[in-house]
Structure 1
Amino acid sequence: MINGVKVKKLVKHCDDRGFFAELVRNDEPDILFKFGQASWSMSYPGVIKAFHYHEKQDDLWFFRSGNVQVVLYDLREESPTKGVTDVYYMGEENPIMLLIPKGVAHGYRVLGQRPAEVIYFTTESYNSNEPDEKRIPWDDPQIAFNWETKNR
């Protein structure tokens, strides 16, 4: 696992009315040390949204619908896991929260035939005059990730 990345398994409390689950709490500083902004995004089946990274903010992702393949790549020079790639499968089939530290490139591919919706929290608010979002192509040769599904 890339240094600083954290996974929080969600606990669903189910009954005859449905379910309830906590995403993130203010007494979990080891998950999100500071609240900056909450956002919501949707992507269509087959879409690849990759890669980008931040210099100032951490991201905390939760896919509330659909299923995705999340790819992380550690760009941080001082990190003991520099150059390491991690893959996570998230969404309806695996409801987890994924903390992505600043300096770790991240992106995802929507799996299946349904759109995927992500709700994400950041430690900084978005600044349109100076966006903290550095882009890397989805097929970057340094990362060299194969986005194709491997039939087994």
Structure 2
Amino acid sequence: MEGIKAVIEGVVSKKLNKYCDDRGTFMEIVREDEGLLRRFGQASMSMTYPGVVKAFHYHKEQDDLWFFPSGNAQVVLHDLREDSPTYRETAVFYMGEENPSILLIPSGVAHGYRVLGTKPAIIVYFTTKAYCPDHPDEYRLPYDDPAIGFDWKTKFR
């Protein structure tokens, strides 16, 4: 599929097309005929303030599909799947209104993000399972987990 690339096995990033006219803009985020989600479970939205890091967590059963329609974020993924050819690999994506894209995050891949710039970021995300408070499929790791070893600071050159 055009515009789709994989950096970590099973992770999919797709550049989105924005259509503009004198009324505004239109952008398709995901379509059922793309085959990105094995099934659909839930759609959610969250707003995060500038500079905040929300990391890391992963799921054993559900896949996530992320989209940032407002603001900008640095998204970091780390492959925890022992049977994956990209086991222990880390990938960084820059997503948001300056780079409209979606990111498919398979189960077993730890993920988190940091809001960039001076305005909040909004994330809209879709999952293959609905959240169950009695049995949440969510496992946390510290943002500074030494096994991942990611430095969240912006480096100025």
CA distance in 2, matches of 1:35, 1:2: 22
SS of match in other structure, 1:27: helix
Map of 1:66 onto structure 2: 71
Q: Quote the RMSD (CA, aligned, Å).
A: 0.6
TM-score, structure 1 length as denominator?
0.98
Q: Percent identity?
A: 67
State how 1:41-60 maps to structure 2 within 5 Å: 41-60=46-65
**What one-letter code is carried by the residue in structure 2 that aligns with 1:124?**
K
Give every structure 1 segment of 4 or more consecutive aligned residues whose post-TM-superposition deviation is greater than 3 Å. Answer: none
Q: Distance in 1 between matches of 2:31 and 2:38?
A: 10
Q: Show the counterpart of 2:109.
A: 104
Aligned to 2:27: 21
Q: State the partner residue of 1:145.
A: 150
- Consecutive unaligned residues of structure 2, counting only runs of 5 or more, are 1-6
Cα-to-partner distance string for 1:24-54 (whole Å, 9 max, x where unaligned): 111121x112110000001000000000000
Unmatched 5+ residue regions in structure 1?
A: none
Count, aligned residues: 151
Deviation at 1:61, TM superposition (A): 0.1
Query: Aligned to 2:95, which of 70, 90, 93?
Result: 90
2:17 aligned residue: 11
Instruction: Say if 2:41 is the partner of 1:36.
Output: yes
